[in-house]
Structure 1
Amino acid sequence: PLRDSHRPWKCLLALCKLPVMLRSTGTAHHFTFLLNSTDYRILRMDEDHDRMYVGSKDYILSLDLHDINKEPLIIHWPVAPQRKTECVLSGKDTNGECGNFIRLIEPWNRTHLYVCGTGAYNPICTYVDRGRRSQEYTFRLDPGKVDSGKGKCPYDPKLNSVSALINGELYAGVYIDFMGTDASIFRTLGKQTAMRTDQYNSKWLNDPTFIKAQLIPDSAEKNDDKLYFFFREKASEMGQSPMTQSRIGRICLNDDGGHCCLVNKWSTFLKARLICSVPGADGIETHFDELPDLSESLLKQPFAVFICVPSRSVFKGSAVCVYSMADIRQVFNGPYAHKEGPNYQWVAYTGKIPYPRPGTCPGGTFTPNMKSTKDYPDEVINFMRNHPTMYNAVYPMHKRPLVVRNNVDYEFTTITVDQVAAADGSYEVLFLGTDRGTVQKVIVLPRDDMQTEELVLEEVEVFKVPTPITTMKISSKRQQLYVGSVLGVTHLALHRCDVYGEACADCCLARDPYCAWDGKSSPRKCDVKYGNPIRQCRGYNSNVNKNTLEMVQYGVEGSSTFLECQARSPHVSLKWHLQKENSDRRKEVSQERSSSADTY
């Protein structure tokens, strides 16, 4: 479902909110409160060191990936008492915000991390020595190397920020002022010029909520590399009141700003709208405009994942949309948005486009003779400043969501994706975190009628106390899913094949791409796409008209018989029929369920 035979299969997968009643597997995983702290939002995997770094309030943790409940390495990094007092006196501690909330953990080199925290509304950054090898168990602050976190980490812990450390330069989408009004995409550290978006220019950023930053190469030419930012912001269309829209924006890594205009400001910044909607019977589309999360799988896999929710909060819901990277690039190569006319409406710009095309990277495929954006003509820079938005929106592949949820009492909050090489092909498995503290494991399969089939393989209750899941990371090396919330961190296995039992049919009906049946009597693998045990497993009768499996049990009239048939998969429904001796007729019988059997 994530590929299109008519275009390159590099694509983006978006998750958007709209609400399905699911049957939980009832599986609860124990988790440990690591410290008397909160807000375990930042997770950074380090599989080379077999560690996972966690940022919370006043603490930085280093967990053992083999067992995160093993005693962690801990750095206590609170603010000074005087700074906390100043923060409280400024009226900023109504909900305990006057702490040092860790919001950035980036690998600096083989031995150190770069870490930033809110610093009680005075963001600060430093280096952490993590050692050269995992066996050293080194984890300590590097003394004397604390610097300002402005432009790297927000003042307010409630405001989202994103970051990417590339070639020693830190790119961040962040609010950079005490009051939380100046949103910017910043570049600091490194040897290049410090850069930012145009300040207080609502055409560029209008009250954004940053979600993720991701480097996506455009071609084999390194100078064409762009950093994509995913965020949501307020936008006005055709004189309407501001509404929330999901955005994808991008900048060139080698952007140096303009010579006379946009000095030390991005001169290649462009953005476009992401549409994720469901057409209604009356032709009116239901839009999912709020983007809460994006998977970080774009470099490892040909797609990434978003989550969106209805902006007007009329109902709860979630949906998953898939976007082709070819479609995204086509929108960025299309017309720019321009306001004109008596109502000052957005239209496609039809005037002359200056050369080089605004948004093009210097020294790249189309500008080999221009080594810096400072070499661009002033008309290019001025055009960029006034036309940062593309006119066309990016629509999902097939113009519809891949997954839709409605009429449920929860919303998706985060998502990550694993690509699995199963016995009968390769599948993308979606792990969807919810605001009630569960994780749904989902695959979407193509059907013969050009439609798709969604399968919820299981829903796992991750936390004992229901709490929204804020972060998820996959370790393919250890086949584990690590889950974070404001309360703590836990992990669960990507697959639990043992719960499906030992029978071939049970494994086949589960349709879990992680699992295959290797029994001696029938050494066939499981059929994920169709889940047909009649074709895959020996020793089962079938009723072709009803496409069912039959297991015959015998009883003696006038006596009691224990009839047992356990459903090992959420895709199985059980029905009992009575067929008396010397009769071809069957009668469905009502049942009273116990926990392990069906009794009549």
Structure 2
Amino acid sequence: MIQALVLLLLTGNGATATSTNPRLKLSFHNLRMRHGLHTYELERSCCFDSLLLDEERGRLFMGGKNYLASLSLDNISKQDKKIYWPAPVEWREECNWAGKDINAECMNFVKILHLFNRTHLYVCGTGAFHPICGFVEVGQRVEDSVFKLDLKSLEDGKGKSPYDPHHMAASVLAGEELYSGVATDLMGRDFTIFRSLGSRPSIRTEQHDSRWLNEPKFVDVFWIPESENPDDDKIFFFFRETAVEAGQGLGKHTFARIGQICRNDMGGQRSLVNKWTTFLKARLVCAVPGSDGSDTHFDQLRDVFLLPTRDKRNPLLYAVFTTSSTVFKGSAVCVYHMSDIRRAFLGPFAHKEGTNYQWVSYQGRVPYPRPGMCPSKTFGTFSSTKDFPDDVIQFARNHPLMYNSVLPHGQRPIFLQTNVGYTFTRIAVDRVAAADGHYDVLFVGTDIGTVLKVVSVPKDSWQNMEELLLEELQVFKDSSTVTSMQISSKRQQLYLGSRTSISQLPLHRCGIYGKACAECCLARDPYCAWDGTSCTRYMHNTKRRFRRQDVRNGDPNTFCFGDPQRSSVPEKKLYGVEGSSTFLECLPKSLQAQVVWTYQKSSSAPRKEKIQGSWNKSQIFYKWTLLHCDPSYSQLQEELLI
């Protein structure tokens, strides 16, 4: 007698932003053997925290301990070029005499990598606690094989590179000027935002003033234009620091910050000489609103990614946060609009007053020109900050902090994970053109060597988004922390650095979603579409009428079967003969789906006895059927007994 068993694949379309299950989870071995993962290791080096993507030359430049390397963007495992750049012996000995570890710290750790012009890079290293910078010739064309450090151009790296390899620093090269957030002393106590190189004078933040910078940890920095007039261009620094405005007597609190300065700031004439006169900072909030009115804050800013838009003045800023809370552990991603950032800097200044010296919104007269505004014809008549009145300079010195915070889009994180055994460390974002709109795909690195691939999709509107965790990928074989990340939309590749190695991975693996239209559609991956025969890369400009893709809803019934009334759950039927054995699938291809088997004795009989993956090891029903599911196997074995 032939019996029928029906498999129902229940998809996870209702997954929330805090879902811990990805649709696919791939190991390092699987990625390397089947899905194009390339790796690069450099003997006697480590700490590949500095990566620089050069699309024009097709190279990935890397900085590590005592080495610079140039790798092919197509395959980082091939055609590498190396420069050995150690610290001089006398510097290493001096470093060792100062009590530092001669093998772990008294080396030259390359921390700064920037494209300087069409033929050279600008590079800086710690130099065994003796920061040093120089120029590397890389040629002008792709076919140029030159990769050479100019030893005659080496210069002091103070104010550009950190002394200590463990200290965080951030910098950006704007034109020929280098803007750095860094500690400028051996002990790591004098933190500054510093301008060097170029023709304008070197300028820094006020020294030893906790109102300006208070034990900061610099994360990233970007050059963003304010208007069509380059005199309005600003540099934005992202960092975290000990908050001066936190509640008294409550201990140290870390706040995430965004700071701004004008590129054309020349310092003051009589006060703040060679100091920033346009420096302002505001708190960067990433928090989950609580039902009781209290928010759960993520204040440990870890990384920021600038996603360009059609308007170069208004990019999106994606930021990764963790929390130092002892109550719970978690990580979050918040996204910020430049309009909200600018609004905070145009709002009230923070001011300390009253008998208890509480921080309040400053209600007095703000001098003209407003502190933080750049001297230009766009917003005034001043041609230089040296022409600013004394009251403007004095106000700027005493009021660097804004009262209003910068809130994220939607007033909450767009993606968060709690109690998952890892924390977020880095982020890169790719804007993907799909059949039903543009989607931002997030690649989030973790401290256990994995990358999470996440896509934002609208629930009922493009203002109300949900995050789908598509993939969890093990990109380093030793589970090293992801410390650097670069993305190439042009080549569709992701490049990642850790303490031990560098990995390269394609942004998509469409073929892994299955060999049916429904499986491809249910994946909801904006990179992928059903082309009539297989799940392949979706090309926005390709006109093929049988392409099928539905990122927004993941509805295969409409897009694959053309029948919106059809059951939304795909079915698979197996027929068994009494006295024989067969295998039933236990684990679905998607970890956000559920497999359910039902038994039907004949075509006219009702379906009975739902059997799910969470059932006990053995279960008897109808007296003649024994079903067995061993968790150590990936399949469910059914034995039909007489």
Q: TM-score range by the shorter chain?
A: over 0.9
Q: What whole-Å deviation, never above 9, does each CA across 1:70-127 have from its counterpart, x for those lacking one?
A: 1410000001111111110111227711000001011111111111100100101111
Amino acid at match of 1:352: R
Deviation, structure 1 residue 585: 3.1
For 1:248, the equivalent position in structure 2 comes to 258
For 2:117, the equivalent position in structure 1 comes to 109
**1:200-215 → structure 2 map (5 Å cutoff):** 200-215=208-223
User: Hey, what's the Cα distance between the residues in 2 that align with 1:496 and 1:182?
Assistant: 47
Query: 2:577 is paired with a residue of what secondary structure?
Result: coil
**1:137-536 → structure 2 map (5 Å cutoff):** 137-236=145-244, 237-239=246-248, 240-298=250-308, 302-367=315-380, 369-448=381-460, 451-519=464-532, 523-536=546-559
User: Hey, what's the Cα distance between the residues in 1 that align with 2:435 and 2:23?
Assistant: 27
For 1:599, the equivalent position in structure 2 comes to 637
Note if 1:25 corresponds to 2:25: yes
Check 1:542–1:502 CA distance in 2 against 1; reply closer, same or farther (3 A cut). farther
Deviation, structure 1 residue 229: 0.3
Q: What whole-Å deviation, never above 9, does each CA across 1:17-54 have from its counterpart, x for those lacking one?
A: 99935576133144342222110000000110110100
- Identity across aligned pairs (percent)? 50
User: Hey, what's the Cα distance between the residues in 1 that align with 2:102 and 2:93?
Assistant: 13
Amino acid at match of 2:577: V
Answer with 332-341 or 518-527: which moved more: 518-527
Answer with 516-525 or 318-327: which moved more: 516-525
For 1:559, the equivalent position in structure 2 comes to 580
Q: What whole-Å deviation, never above 9, does each CA across 1:171-204 have from its counterpart, x for those lacking one?
A: 1111000110000000011100110000111110
Q: Is the 8 A contact 2:18 2:415 kept in 1?
A: no
Check 1:66–1:55 CA distance in 2 against 1; reply closer, same or farther (3 A cut). same
Deviation, structure 1 residue 557: 3.5
Answer with 425-434 or 217-226: which moved more: 217-226
Deviation, structure 1 residue 536: 1.3
Query: 1:569 is paired with a residue of what secondary structure?
Result: coil
Q: What whole-Å deviation, never above 9, does each CA across 1:50-79 have from its counterpart, x for those lacking one?
A: 101000010000001111011410000001
Q: What whole-Å deviation, never above 9, does each CA across 1:275-324 have from its counterpart, x for those lacking one?
A: 11112343321111110111133467831211111134543211122222
User: Hey, what's the Cα distance between the residues in 1 that align with 2:95 and 2:418?
Assistant: 43
Q: Is the 8 A contact 1:420 1:428 kept in 2?
A: yes
Q: Is the 8 A contact 1:457 1:570 kept in 2?
A: no
Q: Is the 8 A contact 1:420 1:426 kept in 2?
A: yes
Check 1:586–1:537 CA distance in 2 against 1; reply closer, same or farther (3 A cut). farther
Consecutive unaligned residues of structure 1, counting only runs of 5 or more, are 1-16
Q: Is the 8 A contact 1:243 1:311 kept in 2?
A: no
Check 1:18–1:124 CA distance in 2 against 1; reply closer, same or farther (3 A cut). farther
Deviation, structure 1 residue 586: 3.0
Amino acid at match of 2:142: S
Deviation, structure 1 residue 565: 8.6
Query: 2:427 is paired with a residue of what secondary structure?
Result: strand
In terms of fraction of residues, the more strand-rich structure is 2
Q: What whole-Å deviation, never above 9, does each CA across 1:446-491 have from its counterpart, x for those lacking one?
A: 2128753321111000011011101111011111000101111011
Check 1:574–1:193 CA distance in 2 against 1; reply closer, same or farther (3 A cut). same
User: Hey, what's the Cα distance between the residues in 2 that align with 1:446 and 1:272?
Assistant: 30
For 1:60, the equivalent position in structure 2 comes to 68
Q: Is the 8 A contact 1:524 1:536 kept in 2?
A: no
Q: Is the 8 A contact 1:162 1:173 kept in 2?
A: yes
Q: Is the 8 A contact 1:161 1:210 kept in 2?
A: yes
For 1:37, the equivalent position in structure 2 comes to 45
Could you say what the CA RMSD is over the residues aligned between the two structures, in angstroms? 2.3
User: Hey, what's the Cα distance between the residues in 1 that align with 2:18 and 2:99?
Assistant: 37
Q: Is the 8 A contact 2:219 2:303 kept in 1?
A: yes
Q: TM-score with structure 1 length normalisation?
A: 0.92
Note if 1:88 corresponds to 2:109: no
Deviation, structure 1 residue 595: 6.2
Answer with 503-512 or 530-539: which moved more: 530-539
Query: 2:62 is paired with a residue of what secondary structure?
Result: strand
Check 1:541–1:373 CA distance in 2 against 1; reply closer, same or farther (3 A cut). closer
Consecutive unaligned residues of structure 2, counting only runs of 5 or more, are 1-16, 33-38, 535-544, 613-627
Query: 2:574 is paired with a residue of what secondary structure?
Result: coil
Answer with 381-390 or 93-102: which moved more: 93-102
Query: 2:530 is paired with a residue of what secondary structure?
Result: coil
Deviation, structure 1 residue 247: 0.2
Deviation, structure 1 residue 556: 2.9
For 2:625, the equivalent position in structure 1 comes to none
User: Hey, what's the Cα distance between the residues in 2 that align with 1:183 and 1:314?
Assistant: 31
User: Hey, what's the Cα distance between the residues in 1 that align with 2:197 and 2:156?
Assistant: 11
Note if 1:573 corresponds to 2:583: no
Amino acid at match of 2:180: A
For 1:7, the equivalent position in structure 2 comes to none
Counting matched residue pairs gives: 581
Q: Is the 8 A contact 2:22 2:591 kept in 1?
A: no
Amino acid at match of 2:46: T
Q: What whole-Å deviation, never above 9, does each CA across 1:318-354 have from its counterpart, x for those lacking one?
A: 1122222211111110100000001101001111110
Amino acid at match of 1:269: F
Q: TM-score with structure 2 length normalisation?
A: 0.86
Check 1:556–1:176 CA distance in 2 against 1; reply closer, same or farther (3 A cut). same
Query: 1:499 is paired with a residue of what secondary structure?
Result: helix
